[in-house]
Amino acid sequence: MAANKKLNPVDVLSEIEAKFEMLQILNEKGEIVNKDMDPKLSDDELVELMTRMVWTRVLDERSTALNRQGRLGFYAPTAGQEASQIASHYALSEGDYVLPGYRDVPQLIWHGLPLTKAFLFSRGHYKGNQFPEGVNALSPQIIIGAQYVQNAGVALGLKKRGKENVAITYTGDGGTSQGDFYEGINFAGAYNAPAIFVIQNNNYAISTPRELQSKAATLAQKAVAAGIPGVLVDGMDPLAVYQVTKEARDRAVAGEGPTLIEALCYRFGPHTMAGDDPTRYRTSDEDSDWEKKDPIVRFRTYLEGKKLWSKEKEDEVIEQAKEDVKAAIKEADATEKQSVTELMDLMYDVKPSNLEEQYEYYKGKESK
Amino acid sequence: MAQMTMIQAITNAMATELKNDENVLVFGEDIGVNGGVFRATEGLQEEFGVDRVFDTPLAESGLVSLGLGLTLEDYRPVIEIQFFGFLFEAMDGIAGQIARHRVRSGASKQTPIVIRAPFGGGVNTPELHADSLEGLMAQTPGLRVVIPSNPIDAKGLLISAIRSNDPVIFLEHMKLYRSFREDVPEEDYEVEIGKASIKQEGTDITLIAYGAMVQEAMKAAEELAKEDVSAEVIDLRTVSPVDYDTLIDSVKKTNRAVVIQEAQRQAGVAANVVSELSERAILHLEAPIKRVTAPDTVYPFTQAESVWLPNKDDIIERAKEVLDF
């Protein structure tokens, strides 16, 4: 055994950080630049992934407009994050769990949540959080990072039940500063639980730039301290996001434990529709640099090159999405508003005496 | 004097103390370039520099405990929690650490920390943004809990809070941020923490409120006046400790009281006020003291908030029960 050479901790850190290179498969021009990693999806699968991404972009445009008209409530725009959201979700299988943050409504929809319910969630209606049978998910988490620890618990439950499924959760770059983030990846690692942790690093936590969150060169390297694999991926590249998520899933169901994925991406819109003004903290140069990396643009180029996609096909998807939104909003409009007494009914399994005593008063107040 | 909204008065108070005391630091999430999500810190980083007014990584527990650490080098942190519904993330830092720091050190250390946060309902926020959690803070020994209802008080109370060597939780009702303006003195001044304010004198019944409920109580008093009921309206301004002297003096005169809070009925500030008044002033009371509160549920998703939140009609109804007892 060689004598211990003197380790310089600064060098150790540099070596580790240098190893976290961003994986890209499909570049901005729509060219495959990493053939070995190409997930080799079938033509049908490629078209389905593109369809979902385009549909989700239309949903974002319509949701933003509906919010401005006062027809939706809380809404966190998703444009720009279609690859990190949809392609990671596309790597899942039936029975897997999704624990989303509040921007991650699209994953829930593609996980089986009816669009009407997504709109009801936005309007603050509890029915939006009552999921149909088989939609293994929690509702979008408001507290940053809280879902990360819960995800370790869901994954541990799957492991204990012996199921060949995983639990995936999402947070942003800001979320990695929360204690819950570290607790989540550490717990999942300690139990070798089948969990996938996605960081959608869109460079800003509301206005706070990524470099203010952490001195770490990458967020993926935070996996090292938890003793789990960490991957840095081009979050604007649907094929790369799909591939790393698929590999993480394969490892998890093979009993090899959790993975942390950092997807580098950008939100084209504001943080939420509640008064955020990105021009206060981002430059238009930065916006246009990232627009060139648009996941839909590069995927379209790639698929058109393979004769799998066309303007006609895209228009069809756009029209379908608009129709779906129209129908879902109509259904949401027809849903009776929730009441305080309903909320009282929902609070406990067995209603306590204080709520029993208060019930009639609010029945009366509601009928005024 | 300058016409200011409550949020402008709050910004003005921070600017005043940043100017007066070089040890004052202002920090939190998105409070720098962005000026805070409500713009409470608008312009402060530009004026006082990034060393004194700065953004933190996103972690509520982190930022309050960072504050505790900074006091050891004699800094006076003014910390913004973006929404008070995120308090639970910071609960140990505040209740387990900051509130106990002085006594734990045998009073050899001070805790000159202010934690500011927006809270309160009626503005269509998502879950965990609107909750009235002052009761949890008021039950924590070691803290003072201040809730202003108007621009003049907000400025004076915040200046007092920043100058206090004890920790102060300073809660700003979102609905009051821009609901009205008033003339606020431009010079620095303090409003004493722990002192209630009599908003309107009366002889028949005392309406005790704080935060956004002060406006509802004033509206109720106005309507009661049309029925020849003279209501005294008291704004607690500080919910821990409560100014019982002012309340007892009022009840001695009116012999009747209603206590109003936006928070749920269970436990809480109003329950405490009722029990103290019962103990200390029962012989002056002609009727049981009643409370107007929200029901014992979580803050409702936005659609039901108008029914959930207490309003002037709830206050009038309770006041009449007390008057007719």
**pLDDT exceeding 90 applies to what percent of chain B?**
98
Distance CA B206, CA B253 (A): 9
Same domain, B215 and B171: no
Q: Please, which pLDDT band fits residue A4 given cuts at 50, 70 and 90? A: low
Residue A337 distance to chain B (closest CA, Å): 7
Q: Which residue in B has a C-alpha nearest to residue A361's C-alpha?
A: B295
DSSP B252-270: HHHS-EEEEEEEESSSHHH
A174/B contact by beta carbon, under 8 A:
yes
The per-type count for chain B, helices as H runs and strands as E runs, is 12, 14
Residue B120 distance to chain A (closest CA, Å): 16
Of B130, B163, B184, which residue is a domain's last? B184
Same domain, B148 and B8: yes
**Mean pLDDT over residues B80-95, rounded?**
97
Angstrom CA distances, B53 to A178, A211, B32, B35, stand at: 21, 17, 6, 10
Do the chains contact at B57 and A214, CB–CB below 8 Å? Answer: yes
**pLDDT exceeding 70 applies to what percent of chain B?**
100
Residue B292 maps to a domain: yes
Please work out, in degrees rounded to the nearest 5, the angle formed at the alpha carbon of residue A168 by the alpha carbons of A166 and A171.
Answer: 165
Looking at residue B245, what is its pLDDT?
98
CATH number of residue B119's parent domain: 3.40.50.970
Q: Please, which pLDDT band fits residue B92 given cuts at 50, 70 and 90? A: very high
Same domain, B84 and B47: yes
Same domain, B48 and B174: yes
Distance CA B74, CA B88 (A): 27
Residue B190 maps to a domain: no
Single out the residue of B178, B173, B154 nearest to residue B5, CA to CA. Answer: B178
Nearest to A142 among B35, B128, B307 (CB): B128
Residue B191 maps to a domain: no
Looking at residue B38, what is its pLDDT?
96
Q: What is the pLDDT of residues A49-81, one digit of tens each?
A: 999 999 999 999 999 999 999 999 999 999 999
Residue B201 maps to a domain: yes
| Sequence-ordered list of residues with C-beta below 8 angstroms from that of A42, at least 6 positions apart, any chain | none
Q: What is the pLDDT of residues A319-363, one digit of tens each?
A: 999 999 999 999 999 999 999 999 999 999 999 999 999 999 999
Q: Please, which pLDDT band fits residue B303 given cuts at 50, 70 and 90? A: confident
Of B184, B209, B235, which residue is a domain's last? B184
| Sequence-ordered list of residues with C-beta below 8 angstroms from that of B255, at least 6 positions apart, any chain | B284, B285, B286, B287
Residue B273 maps to a domain: yes
Same domain, B74 and B119: yes
Residue A329 distance to chain B (closest CA, Å): 16
Do the chains contact at B303 and A338, CB–CB below 8 Å? Answer: yes
**Mean pLDDT over residues A136-153, rounded?**
98
**Mean pLDDT over residues A277-293, rounded?**
96
Handedness of CA A51, A57, A61, A67 (dihedral sign): positive
Q: What is the pLDDT of residues B145-175, one digit of tens each?
A: 999 999 999 999 999 999 999 999 999 999 9
Distance CA A228, CA A262 (A): 13
Same domain, B177 and B214: no
Residue B178 maps to a domain: yes
Report the number of distinct structural domains present in chain B: 2
Distance CA B224, CA B37 (A): 38
CATH number of residue B235's parent domain: 3.40.50.920
Same domain, B124 and B202: no
Looking at residue A353, what is its pLDDT?
98
Residue B76 maps to a domain: yes
Looking at residue B301, what is its pLDDT?
79
Same domain, B82 and B168: yes
Distance CA B56, CA B59 (A): 8
Looking at residue A2, what is its pLDDT?
56
A358/B contact by beta carbon, under 8 A:
yes
Do the chains contact at A280 and B55, CB–CB below 8 Å? Answer: no
Nearest to A338 among B58, B127, B301 (CB): B301
Same domain, B214 and B179: no
Encoded tokens for A319: 């029209």
Single out the residue of A292, A316, A334 nearest to residue A123, CA to CA. Answer: A334
Per-residue pLDDT for A32 more than 70? yes
Neighboring chain B residues of A343 at a CB cutoff of 8 Å: 297-298, 300-301, 304, 308
In A69-213, which ranges are continuous DSSP H helix? Answer: 82, 88-90, 105-110, 115-122, 146-161, 179-190, 210-213
Q: Which 8-state DSSP code applies to residue B45?
A: H
Do the chains contact at B303 and A206, CB–CB below 8 Å? Answer: no
Residue B189 maps to a domain: no
8 Å CB contact between B206 and B251 = yes
Interface of B with A (CB under 8 A): 29-30, 32-35, 37, 55-59, 61-62, 85-86, 88-89, 124-129, 265-266, 295-298, 300-304, 307-308, 314
Q: Which 8-state DSSP code applies to residue A97?
A: E
Per-residue pLDDT for A14 more than 60? yes
Same domain, B213 and B262: yes
Neighboring chain A residues of B128 at a CB cutoff of 8 Å: 142-143
Looking at residue B302, what is its pLDDT?
77
8 Å CB contact between A56 and A318 = no
Of B184, B218, B248, which residue is a domain's last? B184
Per-residue pLDDT for A5 more than 80? no
Do the chains contact at A206 and B30, CB–CB below 8 Å? Answer: yes
Nearest to B304 among A213, A274, A340 (CB): A340
**Mean pLDDT over residues B182-209, rounded?**
98
Domain that holds residue B228: 197-324
Q: Whole-prediction pTM value? A: 0.96
Same domain, B172 and B230: no
Nearest to A142 among B57, B126, B304 (CB): B126
Q: Which helix (H) or strand (E) holds B78?
A: strand B76-80
φ/ψ of B113, rounded to 5, equals -115, 135
Same domain, B99 and B145: yes
